[in-house]
């Protein structure tokens, strides 16, 4: 028993006392464990006190860091939004440039100068620094150019269907209006077109886009072609020697449609060219050489 330690365990109230016999080696291990646990507990307490003091001392700095993080996140979102707006503005610029080129080509205007931001007709100095305002401005310009392009297409379509070239080259042998009867006598007659002098077999061309509504024999005009151009406009070509289109054919301005001759009621080789507008015969000379716009 000399090498053992006896631990007495006393209950808080009446009860039997317990004894625990420990060897010196076991006692040392128990004592070392108790000391180690105590040191660990003490270090935890001291550490908690230190960290609590540190957090309290640097609380303002932590709050500032949190604020900076929030601001950084907001700036990143703003940058993403600006990038998206810039991409849309660039796309609008490209679309506007394409529309300008389309309008110039359609109306046969000189090529437009390169488009620079913020927009044509507005200097850089007058541009808004607000990206949303600039984006709205470009959207409005894009819509405007889309409207211009649509109107240009309509005008080009109207021009294509409006007679503006002579059906063939030659001198006007007989103008539009009243004239002496070419078949003799003192009587006069109303001439509802132009007689264009030409060699027999000269090429006759459509003066505008349209659809052939008649191609055949006419008692007065001989071999005749009639074209409906839409927009209340009709042209006809008489006294031909040969017809090269049929009823229902679609023709383009300048397309070869017949060869001139002297068929029908004619005194010699020539082309009778007539224009009917809104149901009435009109002077074709006003629709030749681009003298009259649609």
Enter the tokens of residue 16.
Answer: 């039997």
Q: What is residue 216's predicted lDDT score, i.e. its pLDDT?
A: 97
Q: Sign of the CA dihedral 281, 286, 289, 290? A: negative
Domains of the chain, start order? 89-160 (no CATH), 172-287 (2.70.70.10)
CA distance 205 to 167: 5
In tens, the pLDDT along 210-231 reads: 999 999 999 999 999 999 999 9
At 124, the pLDDT band (50, 70, 90 cuts) reads: very low
Within the chain, strands assigned E span 4-9, 18-23, 172-174, 177-180, 188-191, 194-197, 203-205, 210-218, 222-230, 233-243, 250-251, 256-260, 270-277, 280-282
Q: Is residue 270 within 8 Å of 195, Cβ to Cβ? A: yes
Mean model confidence pLDDT for the chain: 83
- Residue 128 pLDDT class (50, 70, 90 cuts): low
Separation CA 196–CA 258 (nearest Å):
14
* 165-211 residue pLDDT tens: 999 999 999 899 887 766 566 667 788 999 999 999 999 999 999 99
Residue 26, pLDDT > 80, answer no
Instruction: Specify the pLDDT at position 125.
Output: 40
């Amino acid at each position: 028993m000399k090498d053992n330690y006896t631990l007495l365990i006393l209950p808080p109230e009446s009860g039997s006392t317990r004894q625990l016999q420990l060897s010196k080696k076991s006692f040392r291990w128990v004592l070392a464990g108790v000391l180690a646990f105590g040191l660990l507990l003490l270090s935890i307490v001291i550490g908690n006190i230190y960290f609590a003091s540190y957090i309290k001392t640097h609380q303002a700095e932590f709050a500032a860091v949190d604020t900076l993080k929030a601001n950084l996140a907001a700036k990143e979102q703003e940058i993403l939004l600006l990038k998206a707006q810039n991409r849309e503005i660039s796309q609008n610029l490209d679309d506007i440039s394409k529309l300008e080129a389309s309008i110039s080509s359609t109306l046969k205007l000189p090529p437009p100068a390169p488009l620079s931001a913020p927009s044509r007709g507005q200097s850089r100095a007058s541009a808004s620094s607000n990206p949303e305002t600039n984006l709205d401005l470009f959207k409005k310009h894009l819509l405007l150019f889309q409207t211009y392009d649509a109107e240009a297409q309509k005008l080009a379509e109207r021009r294509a269907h409006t007679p503006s070239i002579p059906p063939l080259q030659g001198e006007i042998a007989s103008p539009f209006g009243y004239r002496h009867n070419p078949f003799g006598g003192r009587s006069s007659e109303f001439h509802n077109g132009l007689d264009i002098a030409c060699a027999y077999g000269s090429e006759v061309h459509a003066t505008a886009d349209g659809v052939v509504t008649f191609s055949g024999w006419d008692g007065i005009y001989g071999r005749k072609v009639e074209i409906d151009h839409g927009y209340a406009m009709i042209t006809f070509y008489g006294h031909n020697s040969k017809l090269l289109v049929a009823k229902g054919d679609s023709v383009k301005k300048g397309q070869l449609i017949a060869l001139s001759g002297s068929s029908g009621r004619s005194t010699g080789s020539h082309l009778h060219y007539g224009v009917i507008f809104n149901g009435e015969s009109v002077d074709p000379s006003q629709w030749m050489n681009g003298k009259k716009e649609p």
